[in-house]
Amino acid sequence: MLLLYTSGKIKATEKFKSVTLALLLSTISISILAFIGYLITATRGYVMIFAGNPIFDIAMSVIFIIIAALFLISDFQIIRETVENQRPKEYEWSVSFGLAFTVIWLYFKVLDLLIRIYDAKN
């Protein structure tokens, strides 16, 4: 993602950031709705059809990995703006924390995908 960002093929415009945030919020809302649907006994069976489907699990993991990769682009843009505008040292800490959080999130999602693929084979 860094190579795509530095080459200029992907730019983190305001529209890009809003689409990335909308993707994240929609996946969070779907997860919350699925949890609420699981709590309701009448809809628990429908939720379990999706939750027990390994193809659906793998697809959701791939979607989360794509969203995490898109957030890397946003982090790179924030880092560039922080350096170019010569912001104080306090901002460097928050920017580096945001990048570290995104990388760790991406790492866990890739591990989750590998586990789901392994479970689907067995």
**What residue ranges do the domains of the chain occupy?**
14-121
Q: Given this model, what pLDDT does residue 114 score?
A: 93
**What's the rounded Cα separation, in Å, for the pair 57 and 50?**
8
Task: Say what the pTM is.
Answer: 0.80
Token pair, residue 61, equals 């993991």
pLDDT value, residue 36: 94
Nearest partner of 30 among 78, 63, 4, 52, judged by Cα: 63
Burial group, residue 104, by CB count within 10 angstroms (0-12, 13-18, 19+): exposed
Determine the pLDDT at residue 32. 94
Per-residue pLDDT of the chain (122 residues; tens, 9 = 90+): 778 888 888 888 889 989 999 998 998 998 899 899 999 989 888 888 888 788 888 898 899 999 999 999 999 998 888 888 888 888 888 888 989 999 999 999 999 999 989 988 87
| CA 109 distance to own-chain centroid | 8
